[in-house]
Amino acid sequence: MSIPKPLPPVLSEWAEEVVGPVQAVRDVSHDRPNSRVWQLTCGTDRVFPKHRQAGRWLRRFHGSLGDLTPTDHADAVSEVARAARGVEAHLESAGDLIDKEEQETVRQHACELARLGPLPGGYAHGDFQERNWVLDTEAGTLAMVHLERARPHAEVVDLVRLACGPWAGGPDLREAFCDGYGRTLTSVEETALRCLTAIDAASAISWGVPHHDREIVQRGYATLARLGKAGAA
């Protein structure tokens, strides 16, 4: 059983400057030593300062439409197409680890992604997930590490790990993130995100099993299970 982590005073002061007086604080971190997430009750609202800051950071990093050159836009389109084409390699590598029905589900999503056409593009982080978020509790600011995969891509690709992780069981976390991000996803981006999570699941299983990464493998199977339930509904 994990011990609740107290909200650092500096971060509490910063939060109150943004959202007003905080009535209650609840530790909602994942059961990992380096996870730090708190839910704050402010009046009638609940906020998540770390996920909201993450949204603000990513919005700035993605940039605006004018920040991308024509080559950047072309590269972003190519990256999405490459992700769709690469699904067969993941499925071949996974083999019997993914059953026939789940393989077909992944293929259908890859085909759907390929048909969507251009998506809003930006400078994607490439590995945007909680373990790469660094919170400076003294300054109350958030920074990112592991930028070696950053490149022009569809902006929505940076939300895949969140959709397969904290957002799956925490819609409030998604709401807080989007509040910081400054916009919600378009309907086409929502479709793309679903398709990209299917491809991520195949990649996670094919890579995670031989590398004995239980967390990644569980993420992949959980995603396939959600997609299967959604398809049966």
Which domains, ranges and CATH numbers included, belong to the chain? 9-232 (3.90.1200.10)
- How many residues make up the chain in this entry? 233
How high is the pLDDT of residue 1?
44
How high is the pLDDT of residue 150?
95
Residue 149 · residue 127 · CB < 8 Å: yes
How high is the pLDDT of residue 3?
59
d(CA 36, CA 173): 13
The residues, any chain, with a CB within 8 Å of residue 156's CB and separated by 6 or more, are 119, 120, 185, 189, 192, 193, 196
d(CA 28, CA 39): 6
* Matching residue, tokens 């239980």: 214
Residue 46 · residue 40 · CB < 8 Å: yes
Can you give the pLDDT of all 233 residues of the chain as single tens digits?
Answer: 455 667 767 667 766 665 567 777 777 665 655 566 666 676 645 555 578 889 999 999 999 878 999 999 999 999 999 999 999 999 999 999 999 999 999 999 999 999 998 899 999 999 998 878 877 766 667 888 889 999 999 999 999 999 998 898 778 889 989 999 999 999 999 999 999 999 999 999 999 999 999 989 999 999 999 999 887 66
Residue 122 in tokens: 């930006």
d(CA 134, CA 143): 5
**H, E, C per residue of the chain:** CCCCCCCCHHHHHHHHHHHCCCCEEEECCCCCCCCCCEEEEECCEEECHHHHHHHHHHHHHHCCHHHCCHHHHHHHHHHHHHHHHCHHHHHHHHHHHCCHHHHHHHHHHHHHHHHCCCCCEEEECCCCCHHHEEEECCCCEEEECCCCCCEEEEHHHHHHHHHHCHHHHCHHHHHHHHHHHCCCCCHHHHHHHHHHHHHHHHHHHHHHCCCCCHHHHHHHHHHHHHHHHHHHC
